Structure 1
Amino acid sequence: MFVSVLHRRRFCHQLAAGLVALSAGAAQANGFPDRPIKIVVPFAPGAGTDAMGRLIAAKLAELLKISVVVDNRAGASGALGAQEVAKAAPDGHTLLLAAAPFTTVPAALPGAGYDPIAGFTPVGMFAHGPLVWAASKDLPANTLSEVVALARSQPGRLNYGSAGVGGINHLVLESLKAHTGTFITHIPYRGIAPATVDTLSGQIQLLTGTIPALAPYIRDGRLKALAVTSQGRSPALPQVPGMQESGFADVNVLNYFALVAPKGTPDAVVQQINAALAQVVAMPDVKERLAKDALEPATGTPAQLALFLQKDVDGWKRVVERQKLKIDAF
């Protein structure tokens, strides 16, 4: 009986080893990755999106044991980089770092040159976070509902600065205007920095921006924080209410970061990158870095990302149509 059990154990061990080897062989059979992976960041070096791209590239390189490089392809509010990836070989070796403009640009401008749904294969989201509504310290309103009341009582008095026409900063204003029936003048700038300068000086009264960009001015009292654009509060600004608490339960805007691949990328490759991405987001130092940038980890399946992207595009299209925005170019 002892000999029989021993033989069975040896057989089970040999069988398990064989299955592991077979599994490893199957994983290698798809040939991915067999050369460096390129992550196209559709914005200039030094931007927040670029920092996220470099963080993810470095960590994926560690896990996949192959070089992962960042290729900055700035222009047309991210459209040029998206167009390049859409035309790349669908083998997983070229990816796009998708952020909010990936969906706002084609929603606002049908001639953007790419389709975020039909032209790409979702891989996975890895982080998201809200913007923050901020106001000049001299504005006689301390909450978003007070701003809306002021806008209703004095249409056209308030000016709002954004990083450019059709971007998330612009469209979040249009979303608020659509939900409240108010008129607030939109003033587009070439980036959020000059809009911030003019809000600090009182030349304009309102803007939205990322929490890291505006938090220093909020903390020293040069700007007022009215609300964050997500439904709930942000851990990065716990004293500032979210949209639901502010009385705008239908408004929920998140700046997200995700990876997408060219349409037709094999599912096995997509799943492999998605699994590696989940491991990256679980790393303590990555969580710490995301928190520093006022972002929260956001893992999920490719199907979940596909659903999110579709809802985001559809939502922004409704805002553009309701506000009758005519945007010809960025």
Structure 2
Amino acid sequence: MKRRHILQAAPALWLAGLPAARAQGYPDKPIKYIVPVAAGGGSDLVGRTVTDRWGRALGQSFVVENQGGGGGVIASQLAARAAPDGYTLMQGYVATHGTSPATRKLPYDPVKDFTPIGMIGATPNVLVVDANLPIKDFKEFVAWLGANKGKASYGSAGAGSLTHLTMELLKLQLKMPMVHIPYRGIAPAITDVIGGQTQAMFPGLAAALQHIRSNRLRPIAVTGRQRAPQIKDVPTLEELGLKNFDAMQWYGVVGPAGMPADIVGKLNTTLNQTLAAPDMREKLSAEAVEPQPMTPAAFGQYLQQDIQRWTQLVKAQNLKID
């Protein structure tokens, strides 16, 4: 009888020890890391900087695969369809898991089709104006808008982009009209603010910083809960009394839905250790990104809240995104 009981219990004991053994042996081969933009941009730099150090913490290398196109749709579909074994991860960001789900019908579900691993970090958007305008601060900006109703315009990196939606959020709260001029990318939009064709915009801090330092753009306010260390004298919109402006250009890591909890835990722990390295903040500062380590659960909640934020705005402003 005892022998029979032991034999019956053996499979259960083996299965109970499986997760620990699996996590201990993981990873035993390189991990594919999909970055949903072309090589060479800011998001690509963030991904390569983090995975280089993260791979050392895991004892295995990452193979970065750039999959641009479709605003991250192609990359997201590839990641969502991959085996949930921890060997295919993706750098989700505010477009793939924030603004695009709020503005477009996508061939993937940003929540149900993915496993949240952890946040990498975020950079604020900065409200800037043409430096030649008689605007020195936010109060003067609001007064100028009031005096130029129907005449003021703002540029964005494209319809439905974070630069577009952030300004629409500002318009909603200020109840001030501004004409939206969408561009194909952030660079031409900034060029036209500097040239006076448009008067304001909300670029990411990394894209705007060189123009702020050369006094060609004047910073008025930043998004986020804290002032940006690169422009410490510029207040946050929250400080100025506007709510829901903690929105940021964020980067995080997701995998396919259904990943084992033990592997997710190991990835999250080593990612957070990587972000805590003393020199990592300095490395990410090239893109004005501040590390923001989170648990998988906290990151998953963050994703859902970001999608909800922009979905509500699109409905409130009745935005039509082609």
Does the TM-score normalized on the shorter chain lie above 0.5?
Answer: yes
* Aligned amino acid, residue 170 of structure 1: H
User: Does the 8 Å contact 1:143/1:246 carry over to 2?
Assistant: no
Question: 1:232 and 1:283 mapped to 2: Cα distance?
Answer: 21
Match of 1:313 among 277, 296, 307: 307
Shift of 1:310: 0.7
Q: Which residue of 2 aligns with 1:106?
A: 101
SS at structure 2 position matched to 1:209: coil
Of all paired residues, the percent bearing the same amino acid is 39
* Aligned amino acid, residue 249 of structure 2: N
Q: Counterparts of 1:54-73 in structure 2 under 5 Å?
A: 54-73=48-67
Distance 1:118 1:152, change over 3 A: farther
Shift of 1:29: 6.0
* Aligned amino acid, residue 259 of structure 2: T
Question: 1:140 and 1:113 mapped to 2: Cα distance?
Answer: 46
User: Does the 8 Å contact 1:36/1:67 carry over to 2?
Assistant: yes
Question: 1:24 and 1:291 mapped to 2: Cα distance?
Answer: 41
User: Does the 8 Å contact 1:236/1:291 carry over to 2?
Assistant: no
TM-score if structure 2 supplies the norm length?
Answer: 0.90
RMSD between aligned residues = 1.9
Q: Which residue of 2 aligns with 1:162?
A: 156
SS at structure 2 position matched to 1:176: helix
Match of 1:138 among 123, 132, 137: 132
**Gapped regions of structure 2 (runs ≥ 5):** 1-16
TM-score if structure 1 supplies the norm length?
Answer: 0.88
Distance 1:229 1:39, change over 3 A: same
Mapped pair 1:206 → 2:200: yes
Mapped pair 1:117 → 2:111: yes
Mapped pair 1:40 → 2:34: yes
Mapped pair 1:270 → 2:264: yes
Q: Which residue of 1 aligns with 2:213?
A: 219
Question: 1:316 and 1:48 mapped to 2: Cα distance?
Answer: 23
* Aligned amino acid, residue 322 of structure 1: A
Q: Counterparts of 1:154-193 in structure 2 under 5 Å?
A: 154-193=148-187
Q: Which residue of 1 aligns with 2:47?
A: 53
Q: Counterparts of 1:291-306 in structure 2 under 5 Å?
A: 291-306=285-300
User: Does the 8 Å contact 1:164/1:170 carry over to 2?
Assistant: yes
Shift of 1:24: 12
Shift of 1:293: 2.6
Q: Which residue of 1 aligns with 2:123?
A: 129
Give the number of equivalent residue pairs. Answer: 306
Question: 2:23 and 2:269 mapped to 1: Cα distance?
Answer: 18
Please, which moves more after superposition, 43-52 or 209-218? 209-218
**Gapped regions of structure 1 (runs ≥ 5):** 1-22
* Aligned amino acid, residue 197 of structure 2: Q
Shift of 1:228: 0.8
Shift of 1:63: 1.5
Shift of 1:31: 4.7
* Aligned amino acid, residue 106 of structure 1: P
SS at structure 1 position matched to 2:230: coil
Question: 1:322 and 1:231 mapped to 2: Cα distance?
Answer: 23
Question: 1:57 and 1:311 mapped to 2: Cα distance?
Answer: 26
User: Does the 8 Å contact 1:163/1:169 carry over to 2?
Assistant: yes
Q: Which residue of 2 aligns with 1:250?
A: 244
